[in-house]
A and B are shown apart, each in its own frame.
Chain A
Amino acid sequence: MGAQPLSDGATLGAGCWYALLDRDYRIEVEAGVTASLLLCDSEAVADVEIAVGRGSVLNIVRVVTHRSVLTHDVTLDEGAECNTTELVLNAADTRTTATFIAPFARYNHNGVFILDDKEEGSVTVDVMHNVSDCTSRTNFKGVAVEQAHGSFEGTVYVAPDAQRTDSEQSSRNVVMGDARIDTLPQLEIYADDVRCSHGATVGQMDADAILYMRQRGLSLADARRLQIEGFVSDVVMRASIESLVEPLQELLAVKFNKL
């Protein structure tokens, strides 16, 4: 089944869609279907609003290779599920807000940013648990080398009535050289029967692993690149649209060859 171009105002049924983010989109996914959506940026400011209908599954891959400013709002109806994989490979600013409007819905956001040179990039993922019995998972990895500066912010909001919320948020980061990464995962919880966790790490490359690889004959540059690849590979390997795993790996390889 080939992918179809996305048009603004569309209601998506089952199928695969793609869009270049050179403009805003407001779309809906009808109830009870599984749809896939590939979004690629184009050095523009773009806003995408998506409403996922009852019991539907929407798999999104968002590829950011330009200096774009993107906002992304997803609302999930009862029992809906949205899985986002996000790859940020340039000095971009992306903001995602997922909002639950009915129970038993699930939002997953897996992503990575890789910044080099003097790139400054920032990623925000907010999840609004406005109703009960919803689940969210955010896993974002950041890599910054040379003089790059990356930041991750994520707030999980749990409204007073949002009992039995289940939420996990993790931000893991590696910096090299003079690079810097700021990470700010936050929880705002107003309900009492919830299971929420969050964690953040910022670390250097593992010097022992680099030494080990060099002892086997790899150059310092190759050892570093391999370690960064290893650190982020699971995000791409588990991309929400399986047929995009290989192309995404190729995109990563292009970035890695520059590092």
Chain B
Amino acid sequence: MLKVENLHASVGDKEILKGINLTVKAGEVHAIMGPNGSGKSTLASVLAGNEKFTVTEGKVEFLGENILDMPIEERSRKGLFLGFQYPVEIPGVTMANFMKLAVNEHRKARGEEPLTAAEYLRLMREKSAIVELDAKLTSRAVNEGFSGGEKKKNEIFQMAMLDPKLAILDETDSGLDIDALRIVATGVTRLHTENNATVVITHYQRLLDYIVPDYVHVLYNGRIIYTGDKTLALKLEAEGYDWLINNHQER
């Protein structure tokens, strides 16, 4: 599904990713953890195609195709979804209108006809139920006046609408209370199948109680310095990152 080889990326002349290697197969859940400033969000942005970052070296293959020269919207239509850490407010643009355009762009890319109004409404109703998103929110402007929890639910709602092959969720759990966390995490789990894959970037073990990862990677200073299974997250929660970082520096 996703194959990242020796990926280097910078913003301005500051190198942030310094040789990332990561392989994600269909059906897998990967968690990426690591201290602040280690490059987690940059990795998510670079994979999604944010032009603020320059890829200086390496390769990213998604579904067998090199995507580094592909604009962000094409990567999206190919099935790559990024859940934003800070979902953006777009005044005056309703969720319903926005998602209709997005869904139909995805359908067009697959050679399908646009949805009829009735089909679209049915899809919206069905998908908003997955994250217990108040149906009224879809008639409001995108993220405007949404609470922190609603914004994150709205990210997962959009993920459900677009049915991506690979979802990268950038700190979807930050700023959520326990109930909202449960709803968001359960929503993600329900969307997971053996044909898609999920990469969750998180600081906290608690998200991984719901979304059980097959692999846990620790990102530090622009590199993945350690990969383990789900027990690694528990160990990190208890002991912090120091033992790993010290180990890494000694080597």
Chain A residues in the interface with B (C-beta under 8 A): 206, 208-209, 211-220, 222, 226-227, 229-234
A231/B105 contact (C-beta < 8 A), A215-B48, A219-B73, A226-B98 known? no
In contact, A215 and B72 (Cβ under 8 angstroms): yes
- Expressed in whole angstroms, the minimum distance between the Cβ of A115 and any Cβ of chain B is 19
In contact, B105 and A230 (Cβ under 8 angstroms): no
In contact, A230 and B92 (Cβ under 8 angstroms): yes
In contact, B73 and A218 (Cβ under 8 angstroms): yes
In contact, A222 and B101 (Cβ under 8 angstroms): yes
Q: Does B231 contact A (CB under 8 A)?
A: no
In contact, B93 and A227 (Cβ under 8 angstroms): yes
Q: Does B158 contact A (CB under 8 A)?
A: yes
**A-side contacts of B162, CB under 8 Å:** 216-217
In contact, B88 and A209 (Cβ under 8 angstroms): yes
A213/B90 contact (C-beta < 8 A), A220-B73, A222-B101, A226-B101 known? yes
Chain B residue with the shortest CB-CB distance to A235: B92
Q: Does B131 contact A (CB under 8 A)?
A: no
* A-contact 0/1 string along B168-182, CB 8 Å cutoff: 000000000000000
In contact, B101 and A218 (Cβ under 8 angstroms): yes
Chain A residue with the shortest CB-CB distance to B78: A217
Q: Does B67 contact A (CB under 8 A)?
A: no
Interface of A is mostly: helix
In contact, A227 and B73 (Cβ under 8 angstroms): no
Which 3 residue pairs of A and B lie closest in terms of their CB atoms, listed nearest first? A230-B92, A230-B93, A216-B102
Q: Does B193 contact A (CB under 8 A)?
A: no
Q: Given the complex of chains A and B, what is the CA–CA distance between A212 and B105 in angstroms? A: 15
In contact, A217 and B102 (Cβ under 8 angstroms): yes
- B residues 40-92 in Cβ contact with A at 8 Å: 48-50, 71-73, 76-77, 81-82, 84, 87-92
Chain A residue with the shortest CB-CB distance to B76: A217
- Expressed in whole angstroms, the minimum distance between the Cβ of A234 and any Cβ of chain B is 6
Q: Given the complex of chains A and B, what is the CA–CA distance between A215 and B46 in angstroms? A: 12
Q: Given the complex of chains A and B, what is the CA–CA distance between A26 and B84 in angstroms? A: 57
Q: Does B97 contact A (CB under 8 A)?
A: yes
Q: Given the complex of chains A and B, what is the CA–CA distance between A213 and B88 in angstroms? A: 9
Q: Given the complex of chains A and B, what is the CA–CA distance between A121 and B139 in angstroms? A: 34
Instruction: Name 13 interchain pairs, CB-CB below 8 A, sorted by A.
Output: A212-B87, A213-B90, A213-B102, A215-B73, A215-B82, A216-B76, A216-B99, A217-B77, A217-B102, A218-B102, A230-B90, A233-B92, A234-B92
In contact, B92 and A214 (Cβ under 8 angstroms): no
Chain A residue with the shortest CB-CB distance to B101: A218
Q: Does B153 contact A (CB under 8 A)?
A: no
Q: Given the complex of chains A and B, what is the CA–CA distance between A214 and B90 in angstroms? A: 13
